Structure 1
Amino acid sequence: MMHEIRSTQPVEPFHLVLEFNSGEYRIVDIRPFLKGPVFEPLKNERFFKQVKVDRDAGTVVWPGDIDLDPDVLYEHSKPYLP
């Protein structure tokens, strides 16, 4: 199944609550993905909180064309009850 993200909310440091197209809410710690220079800006909490959903791509994005694969986020997330 291809996962798409409908909404996101930054919560505790470096965690996102994600709403998927299945209607599921899940929480993910993105710190394991912050490797390499492209993700360096995400280590800044103020920058991290600028997260948005790109509806065309179905995933989360940040300024500077930074994004993460929604299927990977789903696999590494845990169920969350809003």
Structure 2
Amino acid sequence: MILHVKKAKYFSDYKIELFFNDGRGGVADLSNILHGVFEPLRDKSLFSQFRVDEELDTVTWANGADIAPEYLYFLAFKDEPDLQEQFKKWGYVKG
């Protein structure tokens, strides 16, 4: 299944509540990735102004930043035992 972000809401700090097309919903903490091209998003007022781009099926910001839906899924569910094999296939977990 190709993952799509269906809905996203600002949660707090650098966290986004996400809802995916597989029916799962969870909170992704993006605080650890806000460097390099994502550095401007350290401004919480800018960070909180994301939207779900219907063409890209992921979260985007007005400055052009976007994050792969698979990575958002990983951040939201990285501790779920039943998803570890999928995360290994995607390269987010060493195995």
**Structure 1: tracts of 5 or more residues without a match:** none
**Structure 2: tracts of 5 or more residues without a match:** 78-95
Divergent runs of 4+, >6 A: none
Task: With the length of structure 1 as denominator, give the TM-score of the two structures.
Answer: 0.87
Task: With the length of structure 2 as denominator, give the TM-score of the two structures.
Answer: 0.76
* Aligned-partner residue type, residue 41 of structure 2: L
Following TM superposition, by how much is the alpha carbon of 1:35 offset from its aligned partner in structure 2, in angstroms? 2.0
For 1:72 and 1:11, locate their aligned partners in 2 and report how far apart those are by CA, in whole Å: 18
Following TM superposition, by how much is the alpha carbon of 1:55 offset from its aligned partner in structure 2, in angstroms? 0.8
For 1:35 and 1:2, locate their aligned partners in 2 and report how far apart those are by CA, in whole Å: 27
Superposed CA deviations along residues 23-74 of structure 1, whole A, max 9, x for unmatched, are 21111000122121x2111100100110100011010000111100100110
Name which one, 1 or 2, has greater alpha-carbon Rg: 2
Match of 2:75 in 1: 76
* Aligned-partner residue type, residue 62 of structure 1: W
Q: RMSD of aligned C-alpha atoms?
A: 1.4
Pairs within 5 Å for 1:1-82: 1-36=1-36, 38-78=37-77
Q: Which structure's residues are more often helix, by fraction?
A: 2
For 2:16 and 2:59, locate their aligned partners in 1 and report how far apart those are by CA, in whole Å: 10
Q: Which structure's residues are more often strand, by fraction?
A: 1
Aligned length: 78
